[in-house]
Amino acid sequence: MVLSLDPVTRFLNVQVDPGQAGAWKRAPYHDQLRRWAAASLPLRRYVLVHVNTVTTVVLPDRDVPLGTFAPGDRLVARERMGPAGLTADVEKASQPV
């Protein structure tokens, strides 16, 4: 896995080796991604895991698969309080053709 911080959005991008596509879901990696998600959410920053072109957003309480991100696609998020604290509803917004 290679981690990078987007200089504009400040989102944490986790690029996963396709040969080990499920590695990010195993301990201790997934637990750490959830901790980073919980710490980043109040700042409106997100943890995005990329396996090839498929993107998943890691939130403090769940993982949200968004599918393939194309150039121009963006993440749309609405923060809200859930039973376990702050969380968000996220989706991919595609740029019109």
Q: Supply the pLDDT for residue 97.
A: 60
- Look up the domain containing 34 and give its range: 2-93
Instruction: State the SS3 of 27-91.
Output: CCHHHHHHHHHHHHHHHCCCEEEEECCEEEEECCCCEEEEEECCCCCEEEEEEEEECCEEEEEEE
Domain count, the chain: 1
Q: Supply the pLDDT for residue 84.
A: 84
Q: CA–CA separation, 41 vs 96, rounded Å?
A: 28
Q: Supply the pLDDT for residue 62.
A: 95
Q: Supply the pLDDT for residue 16.
A: 98
| pLDDT values of the chain reduced to their tens digit, one per residue, 97 residues | 999 999 999 999 999 999 999 999 999 999 999 999 999 999 999 999 999 999 999 999 999 999 998 888 999 999 999 888 899 999 999 876 6
Q: Supply the pLDDT for residue 5.
A: 97
Q: CA–CA separation, 32 vs 34, rounded Å?
A: 5
Q: Supply the pLDDT for residue 11.
A: 96
Rg over alpha carbons for the chain, rounded to the nearest Å, is 13
